[in-house]
Amino acid sequence: RVKALNRLQVILQHLKMSKQTDSTAEVLLEKKGGAGIITLNRPKVLNALNLSMIQQIYPQIKMWEQDPETFLIIIKGTGGKAFCAGGDIRAITEAGKVGDKLSQDFFRGEYGLNNAIGTCKKPYVALIDGITMGGGVGVSVHGHFRVATEKTVFAMPETAIGLFPDVGGGYFLPRLSGKIGYYLALTGCRLKGRDVLKAGIATHFVESEKLPALEKDLLALKSPSKEKIADLLNSYHMKCTVDQEKEFVLDEHMEKINSIFSAKSMEEIVKRLKEDGSPFAMKQLETINKMSPTSLKLTLRQLREGASMSLQDVLRMEYRLSQACMKGHDFYEGVRAVLIDKDQSPKWKPAALEEVSDEFVDNCFKPLGSDDLKL
């Protein structure tokens, strides 16, 4: 009975697969040789992740992980502009306003997927060609290999919309060298091309036009081990000369970033930026002044605590924060100002860092009892 059932599951799975490769599906899930391939397929919205995509990708990764015939998993985006520009923020906003369950289900599903990628036993290769932000970072950065190209644009711009750099940002950002992660999280700074590699976010750098060949070579590997995959990626990486001579864009500022962003409070970071007074510091101050004060405080604490937590504990903490943001004011106001009315002038409440009390911040981190994220 069990064997027959298993066989049936495999056949059903196969039928589902062939159905899913139709080009109108939001996500294409296919098996080629020994590789499971996930293609994010919403090019018009820069492959933004919605709940139905998450709910299709998660069980597929789990299935491939158990399948002795699947040796690696590749994830990529369509359309040439973006790998994945983030989560479907508009849908979450609409749901949150009316207290719809989607504002819980989306984050639960997304963080569950981030964890599945972070714990995946099969080598996981993300081809982060083009815009890779927010949710797109979540489905790439926790995997074994991240291949950036000259078209890659990385950012965690959440503090600008009253959110925080979630999808496990509290885990990977504080683990970048020095205080780069804190700087990227609080300012939403964008990194491009080879800088994504130099910051430690990507593991490899390959020309965009070479990706189809790289993918073909990955598929051609006989029973690919993590080592064989690494060797192949390294060989492409070594041959790529694009921007090889260029210095890391943050190099000249690293000393300042490390000293300023090591402060224990947002107020202290602002004070240090003012005291520094250099053009770089003033520019960061101007950026930070535009962000949600609540988001800035939540983010700094998220990273400071996340630095010594497991990915699972970070995701549980971030789920609590996501639900606090859904109940607050700034997320809806930020989305309005940046994505809907596009007037770029959000009215944050509270409007100043000093007005965001420690007690309020503490409350956002409190366990949710039976509503906590289960991984």
Which domains can be identified in the chain, with CATH numbers?
24-371 (3.90.226.10)
Q: What is the pLDDT of residue 58?
A: 98
**For residues 243 and 152, is the Cβ–Cβ distance under 8 A?**
no
Active-site pick, 88, 110, 129, 158: 158
Active-site pick, 135, 168, 181, 193: 135
Q: What is the pLDDT of residue 223?
A: 82
**Beta strand 145-148 with 191-192: parallel, antiparallel or unpaired?**
unpaired
**For residues 84 and 78, is the Cβ–Cβ distance under 8 A?**
no
- Scanning 144-225, the segments in alpha helix (DSSP H) are 169-172, 180-187, 194-198, 211-220
Q: How many CB atoms lie within 10 A of CB 227?
A: 9
Q: Residue 354, CB half-sphere, CA atoms under 13 Å: how many?
A: 2
Q: Could you confirm whether 135 is annotated as catalytic?
A: yes
pTM of the model: 0.93
Q: Could you confirm whether 158 is annotated as catalytic?
A: yes
Give the bridge partners for 146, in sequence order: 126
Q: What is the pLDDT of residue 15?
A: 59
| Cα 149 → chain centroid | 17
Dihedral sign from CA coordinates of 357, 350, 133, 278 = negative
10-residue block means of pLDDT along the chain (375 residues)? 66 58 86 96 97 98 97 97 96 93 96 98 98 98 98 98 98 98 98 98 98 98 94 98 95 98 98 98 98 98 98 98 97 96 97 98 98 97
Angle, helix 211-220 to helix 226-239, in steps of 10 degrees:
150
